[in-house]
A and B are shown apart, each in its own frame.
Chain A
């Protein structure tokens, strides 16, 4: 259920062009209402735990959209993306916890996380500019591990990161004096912590979607796709491939940094083990499974991959009620089903569940012919990263 709701805005905008302006505005109103009421509905129907899942969907959507810029748009396979999430998370954790006794405000830390993660993105990008495909993947994988290992070991001789124990008691986000961690009431309606985080994450996710879409349909986005399609031809067309690849790394990383700082405050705790290779692969799967390069697809991918494992938890109680005992541990099943799903999607929908296919371009052409000028040229993004 929640995945359908979080995918609501893309669904509305997809139906939009096909329908009349009235139908379009009705759908938008419904989508906005669904997004605003989502935590209440989910809480009432599925329970409080699912509101938390909803929050995580938002968080991972931001993360996946950041990786989508690097992998989906520019075609640079990055297997260490979680490192930027870690950078954002640790930046927030170190600057808003008793560890250093620092309590910098959220409005300062959020842009700082984006900036610092962006710098780390360039740090990764600069030495890998000449690398493509497999080679780039290996270097980025190494980079991700380096960051994690640093976080794990920087507790001596000077205790910077508190090592494997991680950092605890991270201060919750406060926006304009309103703490996200506390219950607030407006009249008869009360907003528990998870609801507060939901609305904050929603705003930032929409912002990230907006920025992604704007970048995609611009001179910068076109140049990224050109680099993905044929780097040599792109440079021979006048594209400064070095700068644009660095920009892709930096933009993608800064989204990761933002998501990371939110994650740190949301969890109240960070430790290096949250930023392992599996996490990188998980985010990459969200991008690939959903539809590389297509913002809607990536949102769908993130929503599915966050909610499905949670939904599978019900398999345990289900087995008990059917057979009286648990035959298959849900946690075992999760990875198995996850693998099967990946194989099936790659076999039957190699461009992802929701690719921005060539077919959509035909709709655009038909609309242009009908006299309804499209807002801008769509960029076909159902490609694979160039070898």
Chain B
């Protein structure tokens, strides 16, 4: 296939935890400006792959590159600087800090002020601080949390916490955001507005890597989908193609695909 320009390239990633092979030889490539879905049953290795890409875990083999620059081996904060920001499956906000401060921490990688600057509070520092604050307000506006800018993040309702975490990830102005189950625990209308948010991101030129269990969301949103099962990539392609893949159906239903056509019509989940 004549793929468009590749932004993220994952090559032959393997990772074992003790005796469990969490990932074995997984390779995917994510095109710039696309929404790329990563699905699979629980324990398939999706989050592990996220952790490898974002530098939280060092792989046993393989490497990842972003825009041709090697990510693997870089510390976590460097990966953010290089252009990948992420959210977590179980939301990890700074609960005691305000929503605004959470987003401003997300801007750490693209701001400069050091200890001496902070103490002297020079003109440059004041300007940077004002710029960060304005940007943070704009981001909160974009994800719909602006009304709670000064509330402690821990006091926000669940759906808003998810959105705030996305805003914090976007704060570093990444080339790619990796969202780990952003729709988990959301109701239908929350999911719908999340979908709008992701579409807006893509239209704004941000590449999105998405782990999601909501199959309807994934199939409707993603340009391409990869399916992991027991640490192996079992299918990759456009949503319709993946949905019809017998191996995928088997992985989800845990039974030999005796009647693939009939089962593929149902929700493989």
Residues of A within 8 A of B (CB): 211, 214-215, 218-223, 225-226, 229-230, 232-242, 247, 251, 358, 361-362, 364-365, 368, 376-383
Within the complex, the shortest CB–CB distance from B193 to chain A, in Å, comes to: 24
Interface centre among B54, B56, B118, B168 (most CB of A within 10 A): B118
Within the complex, the shortest CB–CB distance from A246 to chain B, in Å, comes to: 11
- Report the Cα distance A226→B110, complex, angstroms: 16
Is B114 in contact with chain A by the CB < 8 A criterion?
Answer: yes
* A-chain residues with CB within 8 Å of residue B110 when the two chains form the complex: 238
Within the complex, the shortest CB–CB distance from B182 to chain A, in Å, comes to: 15
Contact A223 B150 (CB under 8 A): no
Contact A214 B94 (CB under 8 A): no
Which of B97-105, B214-222, B259-267 sits within the interface? B97-105
Q: In the complex, which residue of chain B has the Cβ closest to the Cβ of A210?
A: B119
Is B81 in contact with chain A by the CB < 8 A criterion?
Answer: yes
Is B3 in contact with chain A by the CB < 8 A criterion?
Answer: no
Q: In the complex, which residue of chain A has the Cβ closest to the Cβ of B150?
A: A365
Contact A251 B104 (CB under 8 A): no
Q: Could you say which of B86, B93, B97, B128 contacts A225, with CB atoms under 8 Å apart?
A: B97
Q: Could you say which of B80, B93, B121 contacts A214, with CB atoms under 8 Å apart?
A: B121
- Contacts A220-B115, A230-B93, A238-B172 known; 11 new A-B pairs at CB < 8 A: A214-B118, A222-B105, A225-B94, A226-B94, A229-B97, A233-B93, A237-B80, A237-B171, A238-B81, A239-B109, A365-B151
Contact B113 A358 (CB under 8 A): no
Within the complex, the shortest CB–CB distance from A357 to chain B, in Å, comes to: 10
- Report the Cα distance A218→B126, complex, angstroms: 10
Contact B118 A361 (CB under 8 A): no
- Report the Cα distance A247→B93, complex, angstroms: 23
Give me the 9 closest cross-chain CB pairs, A-B, nearest first: A238-B109, A218-B118, A238-B80, A233-B92, A229-B94, A365-B150, A235-B76, A380-B96, A219-B113
Give per-residue flags for B99-136: 1 if the beta carbon is below 8 A from chain A beta carbons, else 0: 01100111111110111011111000100110011000
- Report the Cα distance A251→B115, complex, angstroms: 9
CB within 8 Å of A: which B77-97 residues: 77, 80-81, 85-86, 88, 92-97
Give per-residue flags for B145-174: 1 if the beta carbon is below 8 A from chain A beta carbons, else 0: 000001110010000000000001101100
Can you list 18 pairs linking A and B with CB atoms under 8 Å apart?
Answer: A211-B119, A220-B113, A230-B92, A233-B88, A233-B94, A235-B77, A236-B85, A236-B86, A237-B169, A238-B81, A238-B85, A239-B105, A240-B75, A242-B75, A247-B115, A364-B150, A365-B150, A377-B101
Contact A379 B101 (CB under 8 A): yes
* A-chain residues with CB within 8 Å of residue B101 when the two chains form the complex: 222, 225, 377, 379
Contact A238 B98 (CB under 8 A): no
Interface centre among B56, B113, B129, B150 (most CB of A within 10 A): B150
- Report the Cα distance A380→B152, complex, angstroms: 8
Within the complex, the shortest CB–CB distance from B117 to chain A, in Å, comes to: 8
Given contacts A233-B88, A240-B77, contact A223 B105 (CB under 8 A): yes
Within the complex, the shortest CB–CB distance from A77 to chain B, in Å, comes to: 17
Contact B97 A237 (CB under 8 A): no
Given contacts A235-B76, A236-B54, A361-B150, contact A226 B97 (CB under 8 A): yes
* A-chain residues with CB within 8 Å of residue B172 when the two chains form the complex: 237-238
Q: In the complex, which residue of chain B has the Cβ closest to the Cβ of A230?
A: B92
* B-chain residues with CB within 8 Å of residue A214 when the two chains form the complex: 118-121
Q: Could you say which of A223, A236, A383 contacts B56, with CB atoms under 8 Å apart?
A: A236
Contact A219 B97 (CB under 8 A): no
* B-chain residues with CB within 8 Å of residue A365 when the two chains form the complex: 150-151
Contact B54 A229 (CB under 8 A): no
* A-chain residues with CB within 8 Å of residue B85 when the two chains form the complex: 236-238
* A-chain residues with CB within 8 Å of residue B125 when the two chains form the complex: 218
Contact B129 A376 (CB under 8 A): yes
Within the complex, the shortest CB–CB distance from A125 to chain B, in Å, comes to: 14
- Report the Cα distance A378→B76, complex, angstroms: 27
* A-chain residues with CB within 8 Å of residue B80 when the two chains form the complex: 236-238
- Report the Cα distance A221→B54, complex, angstroms: 25
* B-chain residues with CB within 8 Å of residue A219 when the two chains form the complex: 104, 108, 111, 113, 118, 128-129, 132
Contact A377 B94 (CB under 8 A): no
Given contacts A219-B108, A236-B76, A237-B105, contact A361 B94 (CB under 8 A): no
Within the complex, the shortest CB–CB distance from B180 to chain A, in Å, comes to: 11
Q: In the complex, which residue of chain A has the Cβ closest to the Cβ of B87?
A: A236
Contact A380 B98 (CB under 8 A): yes
Contact A361 B98 (CB under 8 A): yes
- Report the Cα distance A205→B102, complex, angstroms: 31
Within the complex, the shortest CB–CB distance from A243 to chain B, in Å, comes to: 9
Contact A229 B95 (CB under 8 A): yes
Given contacts A226-B105, A233-B88, A358-B152, contact A218 B96 (CB under 8 A): no
- Report the Cα distance A377→B115, complex, angstroms: 18
Within the complex, the shortest CB–CB distance from A126 to chain B, in Å, comes to: 16
Contact A380 B150 (CB under 8 A): no
- Report the Cα distance A220→B117, complex, angstroms: 10
Within the complex, the shortest CB–CB distance from B44 to chain A, in Å, comes to: 22
Q: In the complex, which residue of chain B has the Cβ closest to the Cβ of A248?
A: B115
- Report the Cα distance A219→B128, complex, angstroms: 10
Within the complex, the shortest CB–CB distance from A17 to chain B, in Å, comes to: 14
